[in-house]
Amino acid sequence: MRQSSQLAPAQRILPFSTQAARSSETPKLRLQRAGPPETVAALDIGSSKITCVIAQAEDDLLKVCSLAIEPSRGVERGEVKDLDQVADAARAAVIRAQSEARMPCDRFFVGVAGKDSQGRNSRGSVMVAKENHVITDKHVRQALNAARNISLPSDRQIIDSVPQSFAVDNSAGIRNPTGMTGSRLDAEVYLATESVNCIRNIISCLKAVGCRHEGLLFEPFASAEAVLTEDEKDLGAVQIDIGEGTMDIAVYYAGGPRFTRVLPVGGGHIARDVAVGLGITLDAARELVHARGAAYESILDPHEAKQEFDVPAAEGGEACACSAGKLCFIIESRVGEMLEIARKEIRRAGLNGHGTRVVLTGGTALLKGIAKKAQQVFGTHARIGRPKIYTDHPELCDNPAYATAVGLLVYGVKMRRVVEKEQRHPVVSVAASSYKWLREFFF
């Protein structure tokens, strides 16, 4: 693609990204220049499905051209367990999306969130040495690069970073310091790190598919781009993306992420619980959860809750009778526990009071009553996060199951802007030298 081919390989590899966009550009997706529409593509390798989306970005609009969904195989708890199977499924999704979009596209923004993903806060400083002490974009980028320049174990790598706030001299909590005067600039950055092996596996899959990644993006950040409003990011929100194999938690406050956690528990556990509890097959359990499942008993009609219906049994067994109340009990137990774990994790991070609202997204957010359950567990407002995107695909529109895929597109475009900007005004720094090292490492 035209835009992608303009990027240096190093910048494609490492999404040391988006921070300048967040700090110096308007928060909403906005393309900075008029011109022909550019193509952006995202690949979300999940535990239940692999989603490939190709979209056209033009002015303020992101229009989805094609959507391909393939059942995922070889991915467990967000991590690649069988390269060949994942590559086969991803290849099928990519080919279908390409043919539907009628355009070749071999560079994708790919989501990363395994159970080994970790997040941490970091701080970087730079001295503003000019006579007039005016802070420029260059100072901002230097401070951000310094914050990213942390020592990590050899098996871990930074995959994403988002600025939280800046401080000029003793004045903290600044969103955009460019143009201000001061002698010292500090940047607070939230860094997401992942195990090198996990990243290598994803890159190997892409190679096997025959495409490359334009950027690896941390999925909780991507989902937040799709579903959280700017107000929620400012006032404080807990985003819980419950997929098939993982539950991604992200706490946003004062405009930036403060805490992230990826836990290896998700919607797959709900289906397994139902299969065990009712003695039915896993597929039947999934269908049952999808068709009749509810995560909060109080929303059930008392009469309907008692009415029994037949569910197909596992091989050799008799069809068993189940009521909505019984099914809800199994599901509510699991969902309540997952949300309780999320609440504990947030509390442990010392962020108990920062989430004024809970936003649930991911495929499991489609469960009836899950927002009410979250409201009960967290004791605060809860809503379902539905990605807003212009599309002809009705299944994509407002569907929380595709929050990550849509988020990868939105976040990817933002990242592309940052990379373009950095290309125009390169900063030679330690981070830049690490780009080079990583390029040699992977290619």
Partner 1 sequence: MTDAAVKQTVVVGVGAVGCRLAAAIRGKPAGHRYLFVDTDSHSLGAHPEEETLLIGAAVCGGRGTGKRPELARRAAVEAEDEIKQALGPASVVVVAAAFGGGTGVGAGPMIARFARELGAEAIVGAVDPFVFESSVRAEYACEALLRAGDQAEAVVRIPCTLLPDNGGDGPGVRFREAFAAAEEHAAEAAVALVQIVSNPGMLRVDFGDLRRVLCEPGGAVIGVGRADGAERVENAIRHACNSSFLDSHRLHAAANIALHVAGGDTLSLKEVEEGARAIRAISGADYLLSVDVRPELSDEVIATVLLSGVSADSEEARPPAELEGPPPPGAFVYEGVNIDVPTFLRRSRGPHARLGGRSSAHRFAR
Decide whether 27 or 277 has the Cβ nearer to partner 1. 277
Residue 282: CB minimum distance to partner 1, A: 13
Q: What is the 3-state secondary structure (H, E, C) of the chain?
A: CHHHHHCCHHHHHCCCCCHHHHHHCCCCCCCCCCCCCEEEEEEEECCCEEEEEEEEEECCEEEEEEEEEEECCCEECCEECCHHHHHHHHHHHHHHHHHHHCCCCCEEEEEECCCCCEEEEEEEEEECCCCCCECCHHHHHHHHHHHHCCCCCCCEEEEEEEEEEEEECCEEEECCCCCCECCEEEEEEEEEEEEHHHHHHHHHHHHHHCCEEEEEEEHHHHHHHHHCCHHHHHHCEEEEEECCCCEEEEEEECCEEEEEEEECCCHHHHHHHHHHHHCCCHHHHHHHHHHHCECCHHHCCHHHHHCEEEECCCCCCCCEEEEHHHHHHHHHHHHHHHHHHHHHHHHHCCCCCCCCEEEEECHHHHCECHHHHHHHHHCCEEEECCCCCEECCCCCCCCHHHHHHHHHHHHHHHHHHHHHHHHHCCCCCHHHHHHHHHHHHHC
d(CA 169, CA 126): 10
Instruction: State the sign of the Cα–Cα–Cα–Cα dihedral 83, 85, 88, 92.
Output: negative
Residue 349: CB minimum distance to partner 1, A: 15
Residue 306: CB minimum distance to partner 1, A: 11
Residue 246: CB minimum distance to partner 1, A: 10
Residue 331: CB minimum distance to partner 1, A: 9
Closest CA to 416 of 75, 107, 61: 107
Decide whether 204 or 333 has the Cβ nearer to partner 1. 333
Residue 45: CB minimum distance to partner 1, A: 19
* C-beta of residue 293 within 8 angstroms of C-beta of residue 367: yes
Decide whether 222 or 370 has the Cβ nearer to partner 1. 370
Decide whether 211 or 265 has the Cβ nearer to partner 1. 265
**Tokens linked to 428:** 């030679």
Decide whether 269 or 416 has the Cβ nearer to partner 1. 269
Residues lying near partner 1 in the complex (CB under 8 A) are found at 77, 115, 263-265, 269, 272-273, 276-277, 297, 326, 329-330, 333-334, 336-337, 341
Decide whether 25 or 297 has the Cβ nearer to partner 1. 297
Task: Report the chain's terminal Cα–Cα distance, integer Å.
Answer: 20
Residue 337: CB minimum distance to partner 1, A: 5
Decide whether 213 or 286 has the Cβ nearer to partner 1. 286
Residue 277: CB minimum distance to partner 1, A: 6
Decide whether 188 or 332 has the Cβ nearer to partner 1. 332
Residue 28: CB minimum distance to partner 1, A: 37
Decide whether 97 or 265 has the Cβ nearer to partner 1. 265
* C-beta of residue 387 within 8 angstroms of C-beta of residue 228: no
Residue 218: CB minimum distance to partner 1, A: 20
Decide whether 329 or 442 has the Cβ nearer to partner 1. 329
Decide whether 148 or 334 has the Cβ nearer to partner 1. 334
- The amino acid sitting at 12 is R
Residue 352: CB minimum distance to partner 1, A: 18
